[in-house]
Amino acid sequence: MATQSTVKTSSASSEYSEGSIRVLKGLEPVKQRPGMYTRTDNPLHIIQEVLDNAADEALAGYGKKIKVILHADGSVSIEDDGRGIPFGLHPEENAPVIELVFTRLHAGGKFDKGKGGAYSFSGGLHGVGVSVTNALSKRLEATSYREGQVATLVFSGGDVTEPLVKRATGEGDRKQGTTVRAWPDAKYFESSALPMNELTHLLRSKAVLMPGVTVTLVNEKTKETQQWQYKAGLRDYLTQTLNGDPVIPLFEGEGFADGNSESFAEGEGASWAVAFTEDGAPVRESYVNLIPTSAGGTHDSGLRDGLFTAVKSFIELHGLLPKGVKLMPEDVFARASYVLSAKVLDPQFQGQIKERLNSRDAVRLVSSFVRPALELWLNEHVDYGKKLAELAIKAAQTRQKAGQKVEKRKSSGVAVLPGKLTDCESKDILHNEVFLVEGDSAGGSAKMGRNKESQAILPLRGKVLNTWEVDRDRLFANNEIHDISVAIGVDPHGPNDNPDMSNLRYGKVCILSDADVDGSHIQVLLLTLFFRHFPKLIEAGHLYVARPPLFRVDAPARGKKPASKAYALDEGELTAIIDKLRKDGVKEGGWSISRFKGLGEMSAEQLWDTTLNPDTRRLLPIELGPLDNAGTENLMTQLMGKGEAAARRELMELHGDSIEIDV
């Protein structure tokens, strides 16, 4: 019948039915996908989960000592003198509470916040905690001391292998506390070794954040013991770790909400220590309920906001902001080193490993305590306030300057050769030359008269910028300089830099300008550009000045000699040519002298003969004169510096009569 189904059932191996759905129970999800619950590069984080529990006991006021032992067999023990994990039967689950803590993903004493809860402030609400440590350990021994009894429980891969055993406390036993010894399972981690630097930093920070609590690290292999106890807390810690000297004394303080606060729960708030330095890498550490938040978060943003608002209002009150400078939070924060410890009743973290705090209210919480405290402090110490304002304003000016940096114009990641560049055919930089030609008309003649194989022409429009005092990052704002750099294939650099010369496109970079005062000026401006921003081109002998003639002398035929033409660079050469004609018997006035007003007046053929032809041209290599680099720089500053008019006048008065110039 047509109504019968013709669809065949698939084989049992690929059947998708009710039985295909697998329910991961207990700690199976952690073992299947450990990366979702913890860091898998090394076992530090699963040890930290146990450490955080010990710290929470101290934070709640029930413990004064935390001890971490690195055993010779690769296991790690964490001991505290808190109240001990309860080991009676859970009323609903009918299992010892200590067993549930280590075997259930969402079991713990931190969900019941506020009045009557065991923990008002603790490191998070994910509840996966030590059960992840248990799941990823080959063996875990948990021992709890409380109410005159000791209870021990042993797990393997998250499963109970030795059920709960209770006994009365003996003479050598502690009164109360918890000891957890874990053997991390190497198969879950890229490296089974604990990063010692991170571990010691973590333990030290716990001591910093809990003044009066003693934290000890014992390494059985090396027989070393380290101990930390900070009575003065954050201030001591920041002072010891700072890179550089503070510009003003440390700004420290704390603020916590009382029972009358409408916005925050009682006890929420922060304590902080902030130092401002001019140099050195800033030290920045933040914590929420003693959990290190290495990626920062909303509490860091609150500190940043509080500092910025206070400094900005101080600057406005005292009228310190220069015209055109706009202050941003980063300008105040850029040179700030700090240790921040926030207490948040119900912290929300990004990801299970709690690297970043996401609680939105934390911005307002921290800022509301930091801002008024800093405003008051700055106005009580105006001199220090002005120093801090100066630091922030300087940062703003540097930022604005950097924001004006002009990059090469690029297409598909490659600098685009300027459209007005007429390139040569050869790629051999031993023979290639580029002529930087003054003016479009001269550029036209040069293009027609050049050797296309090895000579490139880049016409320049108008006077080039005086770049002696132009910041390197701003050079490309000028089109001509941008085009010169791109055409040559070398980026601007300083005398002590090592620029990439592998992209140099021409062996000779030749300045070609008119043989008059304006031409000389353009020549000087280009030499200034190259000496200041492309010194390695000069050092490597790539820069030249082409010398076009100023005069042309046409002589008539004389005897066997046919009519001829000769070119003179200047008046001296002109005199020498005329003297020779006289000796050759040319009658006085029998020759005619033409003067070139500029390169644009020369035909392509004349330009080739006089200036471009390697056999007949005059090409001067540019190199440092009798002065060294520093001496040349001083002289150039006198000649080209903006504030050096008096020095230039003195030079002209001294040497003005030694120069013959046709103005």
Query: Residues forming the annotated binding site for ATP?
Result: 16, 53, 80, 124-130, 354
For residue 499, give the nearest of 481, 485, 484 by alpha carbon.
485
Distances (CA, A) of 249 to 273, 304, 388, 487: 10, 18, 10, 53
- Reading the block at residue 426, the tokens are 């050869």
Burial (Cβ within 10 Å: 0-12, 13-18, ≥19) of residue 532: buried
Chain center to CA of 313:
29
Q: Is 33:40 a contact under the CB 8 Å cutoff?
A: no
Question: Is 518 among the catalytic positions?
Answer: yes
Q: Is 217:200 a contact under the CB 8 Å cutoff?
A: yes
CA-CA-CA-CA torsion sign (320, 322, 323, 324): negative
Distances (CA, A) of 465 to 418, 522, 544, 562: 18, 9, 19, 47
Catalytic residue chosen out of the listed positions 361, 518, 570, 644: 518
Distances (CA, A) of 255 to 124, 268, 272, 367, 441: 21, 8, 9, 10, 74
Distances (CA, A) of 52 to 45, 55, 79, 365: 10, 5, 12, 23
Residue positions in the annotated binding site?
16, 53, 80, 124-130, 354
3-state secondary structure 154-205: EEECCEEEEEEEEEECCCCCCCCEEEEEEEECHHHCCCCCCCHHHHHHHHHH
Catalytic residue chosen out of the listed positions 81, 433, 438, 491: 438
Question: Is 514 among the catalytic positions?
Answer: yes
3-state secondary structure of 270: strand
3-state secondary structure of 602: coil
3-state secondary structure 19-75: HHCCCCCCCHHHHHCHHHCCCCCCCHHHHHHHHHHHHHHHHCCCCCEEEEEECCCCC
Residues paired with residue 143 on neighbouring β-strands, in sequence order = 152, 179
Chain center to CA of 462:
39
Q: What is the dihedral of CA 192, 196, 201, 207, to 10 degrees?
A: 90
Which residue type does 103 have?
T
Q: Is 354:291 a contact under the CB 8 Å cutoff?
A: yes
Q: Is 404:473 a contact under the CB 8 Å cutoff?
A: yes
Chain center to CA of 119:
40
Backbone angles phi, psi at 145, to 5 degrees: -110, 120
Question: Is 570 among the catalytic positions?
Answer: no
Catalytic residue chosen out of the listed positions 79, 268, 433, 514: 514
Question: Is 438 among the catalytic positions?
Answer: yes
Distances (CA, A) of 168 to 88, 95, 145, 163, 490: 14, 20, 9, 17, 82
For residue 345, give the nearest of 268, 247, 257, 241 by alpha carbon.
268
What percent of the chain is helix, strand and coil (3-state, nearest 5)? 35, 20, 45
Catalytic residue chosen out of the listed positions 516, 570, 601, 633: 516
At which residue do the structure tokens 């003067």 appear?
A: 595
Residues near 210 by Cβ (< 8 Å), separated by ≥ 6?
Answer: 55, 58, 59, 290
Backbone angles phi, psi at 468, to 5 degrees: -60, -40
Name the residues annotated as catalytic.
438, 514, 516, 518
